[in-house]
């Protein structure tokens, strides 16, 4: 797919993450004068002078270093990698402010909040309301979840996503990570963030102002619009995308999330409230747990047990630096694997 897309769009350079496939990509693209890199080149290539904006869409912790390097190089960021702010929100936001770099949210929920706040920056926020689809197991109890399979968990009712984020959606960890991301993006405290389950995924999120007024951003469950808005901001470009037809949208429902059954959301609030390196612990433990669930080595409910145990066992660092995040991520992954084994 990388070769196919490169031939179509003719980028200046590409990076292949799997070094074993480097020669195959090189043979295909070198005749087209497309530079081909591998291994750690991604963290360096984002600093190239020809780059205007860096869209960070890597999965998980791997997005952190390239994003840091891009900010240091003065590149604006379109952020689709929520884990970057989850792991190192203080570091990233401080660095972006220092370098005069803008961070444009790409996640549909955070894009919705961003759009609702346009023209409202002088008005104080009472709270934001992040919507969650509830995933494929909305309304199920823990007895049901004990026996769910990988294939069942990968069947998201509304969105077509990669395996890791789909599992995170099923456990509500994805919403927990989005809550933490939102506090950094919009300079909020945790008690200013509310989550509601909205199974139709039409209202992407809302902002409530101190006068009680609520603004919502709506649209079909499709990532094209938030990606487009991040890359074209402050302009709205003409599109031929499908439109929301209210005559076919018979109901919009909202309900509170079940924090007892889906513990990951509560664990995310816990980690964020404690702060320091605890969100980094949360993310690393979850990445290991999801990987092992996808490998069918642990059950669905065991994922949150792994995360909770790591949060209780890992050393707390109140004001971590970059090296602390790296070490925390490494040691948490080791601890999570020990728990599973």
Q: Could you report the per-residue pLDDT of 187-214, keeping only the tens digit for each?
A: 999 999 999 999 999 999 999 999 999 9
In 3D, which of 286, 283, 319 has the Cα closest to residue 63?
283
Q: How buried is residue 53: exposed, middle or buried, by Cβ count under 10 Å (0-12/13-18/19+)?
A: middle
248 vs 179, residue with greater confidence:
179
pLDDT at 161 exceeding the cut of 90: no
What the block records as the tokens of 335 is: 């601890």
The confidence band for 168, taking pLDDT boundaries of 50, 70 and 90, is very high
Q: Where are the chain's structural domains?
A: 107-260, 275-341
Tens of pLDDT along 109-157?
999 999 999 999 999 999 999 999 998 999 999 999 999 999 999 988 7
Tens of pLDDT along 303-326?
999 999 999 999 999 999 999 999
Q: How buried is residue 245: exposed, middle or buried, by Cβ count under 10 Å (0-12/13-18/19+)?
A: exposed
Tokens 């145990």 identify what position? 309
What the block records as the tokens of 3 is: 């070769």
The confidence band for 158, taking pLDDT boundaries of 50, 70 and 90, is confident
Q: Answer for the pair 10, 34: CB distance below 8 angstroms, yes or no.
A: yes
What are the strands, taking DSSP E only, across the chain?
13-16, 35-38, 53-56, 76-79, 103-105, 125-132, 193-197, 203-209, 214-218
**CATH value of 275-341 in 3.90.1300.10, 3.40.190.10, 3.90.1150.10, 1.10.1740.10:** 1.10.1740.10
Tens of pLDDT along 83-106?
999 999 999 999 999 999 999 999
Strands 76-79 and 13-16: unpaired
3-state secondary structure of 216: strand
What is the percent of the chain with per-residue pLDDT over 90, rounded to a whole number?
A: 93
Residue 34, Ramachandran bin (φ over 0: left; ψ between -120 and 50: alpha; else beta): beta
- Model pTM score: 0.93
């Amino acid at each position: 797919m990388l070769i196919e897309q490169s031939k179509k769009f003719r980028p200046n350079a590409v990076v292949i993450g799997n070094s074993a496939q480097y020669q195959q990509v090189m043979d295909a693209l070198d005749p087209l004068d497309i530079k081909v890199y591998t291994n750690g080149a991604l963290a360096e290539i984002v600093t190239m002078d020809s780059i205007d904006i860096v869209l960070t869409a890597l999965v998980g912790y791997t997005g952190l270093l390239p994003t840091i390097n891009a900010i240091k190089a003065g590149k604006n960021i379109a952020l689709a990698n929520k884990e970057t702010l989850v792991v190192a929100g203080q570091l990233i936001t401080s660095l972006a402010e220092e370098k005069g770099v803008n961070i444009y949210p790409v996640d549909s929920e955070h894009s919705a909040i961003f759009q609702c706040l346009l023209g409202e920056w002088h008005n104080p926020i009472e709270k934001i309301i992040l919507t969650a689809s509830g995933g494929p197991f909305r309304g199920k109890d823990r007895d049901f979840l004990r026996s769910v399979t990988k294939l069942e968990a990968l069947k998201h009712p509304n969105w077509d996503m990669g395996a890791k984020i789909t599992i995170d959606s099923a456990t509500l960890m994805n919403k927990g990570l989005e809550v933490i991301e939102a506090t950094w993006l919009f300079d909020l405290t945790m008690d200013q963030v509310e989550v509601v389950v909205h199974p139709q995924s039409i209202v992407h999120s809302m902002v409530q102002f101190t006068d009680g007024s609520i603004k919502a951003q709506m649209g079909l469950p499709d990532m094209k619009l938030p990606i487009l808005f991040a890359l074209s901001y402050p302009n709205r470009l003409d599109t031929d995308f499908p439109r929301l037809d209210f005559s076919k949208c018979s109901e919009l429902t909202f309900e509170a999330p079940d924090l007892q059954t889906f513990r990951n959301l509560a664990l995310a609030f816990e980690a964020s409230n404690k702060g320091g390196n605890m969100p980094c612990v949360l993310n690393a433990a979850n990445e290991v747990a999801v990987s092992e669930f996808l490998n069918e080595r642990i059950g669905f409910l065991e994922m949150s047990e792994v995360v909770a145990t790591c949060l209780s066992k890992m050393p707390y660092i109140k004001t971590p630096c970059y090296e602390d995040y790296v070490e925390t991520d490494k040691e948490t992954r080791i601890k999570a694997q020990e728990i599973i084994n």
